[in-house]
Chain A
Amino acid sequence: MIDDRTVEHVARLARLALSDEERARMREQLGRILTYIDALRALPVDDVEPTTHVVPLVNVMREDVVEPSLPREAMMANAPDPRGEFFRVPRILED
């Protein structure tokens, strides 16, 4: 069963800041959903191939042709903190 530490670990992996209340609710709800999902253990699947994709497609190829892409200004227009042609973010590297 899922405990507070697991919820905290998964929230960190998922980059989700959870409040204490959210964490408690998440533990309870994920626990019940996973209990339901555990029904899958009843099925013998050892010799079954996994399905990753339902359409039998292999290597969809096209010619390597240079084409215009969307203009930079259009792509930057939705940025929350643009600086010229860059996306500004908090400092990543130390001096």
Chain B
Amino acid sequence: MADDLTRLTAHELVAAYARGEVTPSEVTRAYLERIDRLDGRLGAYLTVSREAALAEARAADARYRAGAPRGPLDGVPVALKDNLCTRGVRTTCASRILEGFVPPYDATVVERLRAAGAVLLGKTNLDEFAMGSSTEHSAFQPTRNPWDLARVPGGSSGGSAAAVAGGLAAAALGSDTGGSVRQPAAFCGVVGLKPTYGRVSRYGLVAFASSLDQIGPLTRDVRDCALVLGVIAGPDRRDATAVDAPVPDYLAELEAGVEGLRLGVPREYFAAGIDPEVERAVRAAVDVLAKLGAAVEEVSLPTTAYGIAVYYILAPAEASSNLARYDGVKYGLRVAGADVVEMASRTRAAGFGAEVKRRIMLGTYALSAGYYEAYYGRAQKVRTLVRRDFERAFAAVDLLVAPTTPNVAFRLGEKEDPLAMYLNDVFTVPTSLAGLPAISVPCGVSAAGLPIGLQLIGRPFDEARLLRAAWAYEQATPWRARRPELA
């Protein structure tokens, strides 16, 4: 019975609470019990806020008894990627340099989840500072894929994806800089959305690459994704890049279907290197959408192959600047040195892992005198070409349909070579560079039983249409009913 409670979606939970069939405390206890029993193997959580979660659940119980739930997520147990600041709960970014950091404030998305009544279960694992595609680059532990414990959950929001897929959280938040919500969602068989850059406030998200970072939901179905996005989206005076545009009711048009929508299939997303199983599943998904009434045509995004090269200049460049703050003075780790420079250099040497150091070096090099124009300047110009590709495509179609990843989840240790790891993001990075919204929904299973993700990409601030198409596809196919057997 307790395990059954952890199978419900967020919208099923709030409906069950309202009918008095189950209470937030019962559900929260069921999740905490499952975390105790299974997370030793999964490694999804870095911190579990047991007492706070139980107290929040009791408060939600009382609100339902009084017939006055606080908001659309009242009593729903959710998990937060550990790069989102939580007041009084340590926030590590899976890095030694922030191991003991306890933020004095909540991120805006955390405030909004609390205001909607969510119960915060804890903080999930990630690649250190969100730099990675497998969650193997956490300073503390790897996270494993609930479908096959020998495989990675994807990354960098691997802990959040594994928690939602494995029944250790009803929903979760992640952050996506080059695919870090969508790729783990695809690998773990859950729904993951990267909103338009500017749709969700980044206040309280520990900065990685500020022109790319966006917070997004990981959920069990598309309706939950719409529900959570509606809670976290909207302007925020503490983040000037959170655009002052009204937030539509994402649930209102969810069931409107895809009849008459024009879908573009970008030919470059089926190029050499894609796993034939992934290609078959995605092409079959396009056929399903066509049968549901969408018009499908092939389009071209010729700059696709250059996305990774652009990203691995711009993101490390921004990271090298953002991570300059970890100098051992104001917070975080300090390693003593004879002077301030030696103290900072030793602190950073001891506090950062290999991948973070690599990106800081790459970014510093790309911004240094003599190389700035050749690398950073050129990458910014090619970023314009990537955006133009999408603008041209969206003149002819409403949404793009593509694979989320070129392959299913790989084995732990399989991608030791940094460049091989980077290339895994080939289908998610271009959308990030263009700032567009994109969602990954489960669209099949490989012969080995591993999930495959379908990526839908929309125009800026067109999340409503994205969710509508994703919902129509999800309802027409059986994938969302699958659950991993973790016992």
A binds B: yes
Say whether, besides A2-B365, A80-B331, A80-B333, A89 and B343 are in contact (CB < 8 Å).
yes
Q: Is the interface of B mostly helix, strand, loop or mixed?
A: helix
Bound complex: CA of A52 vs CA of B241, how far in Å?
A: 13
Contact across chains for A55 and B241 when beta carbons are under 8 A apart: yes
The 10 closest A-B pairs by CB, nearest first: A54-B435, A50-B380, A78-B331, A80-B334, A74-B104, A45-B381, A17-B349, A60-B240, A17-B345, A51-B383
Residues of B323-340 at the interface with A, using a CB-CB cut-off of 8 Å, are 324, 327-334, 336-340
Indicate with 1 or 0, residue by residue over A70-95, a CB within 8 angstroms of chain B CB atoms.
Answer: 10001101111100000101111000
> Which residues of B lie under 8 Å from residue A11 when comparing CB positions?
361
Contact across chains for B378 and A33 when beta carbons are under 8 A apart: no
Contact across chains for A55 and B198 when beta carbons are under 8 A apart: yes
Contact across chains for A29 and B211 when beta carbons are under 8 A apart: no
Say whether, besides A30-B358, A50-B377, A39 and B385 are in contact (CB < 8 Å).
no
- Most chain B beta-carbon contacts within 10 A, residue among A10, A13, A34: A10
> Which residues of B lie under 8 Å from residue A33 when comparing CB positions?
312, 362, 418-419, 422
> Which residues of A lie under 8 Å from residue B306 when comparing CB positions?
39-40, 43
Please pick, from B197, B330, B333, B345, the residue contacting A16 in the complex, using a CB distance under 8 A.
Answer: B345
Say whether, besides A15-B327, A16-B348, A43 and B385 are in contact (CB < 8 Å).
yes
User: In the complex, how many residues of chain B place their beta carbon closer than 8 angstroms to a beta carbon of chain A?
Assistant: 72
Can you name the residue of chain B whose Cβ is closest to the Cβ of A18?
Answer: B349
Bound complex: CA of A51 vs CA of B327, how far in Å?
A: 30
A residues contacting B by CB (< 8 A) are 2, 6-7, 9-18, 22, 26, 29-30, 32-34, 36-37, 39-41, 43, 45, 48-55, 57, 60, 62, 70, 74-75, 77-81, 87, 89-92
Contact across chains for A57 and B358 when beta carbons are under 8 A apart: no
Q: Other CB < 8 Å A-B pairs besides A40-B306, A40-B378, A78-B104, 15 of them?
A: A7-B361, A12-B345, A14-B361, A17-B342, A40-B382, A45-B378, A45-B381, A51-B381, A51-B433, A55-B198, A57-B240, A80-B328, A90-B336, A90-B337, A91-B339
Q: How far is the CB of B327 from chain A (nearest CB, A)?
A: 7
Q: Does B477 contact A (CB under 8 A)?
A: no
Bound complex: CA of A22 vs CA of B303, how far in Å?
A: 34
> Which residues of A lie under 8 Å from residue B379 when comparing CB positions?
37, 40
Bound complex: CA of A57 vs CA of B194, how far in Å?
A: 20
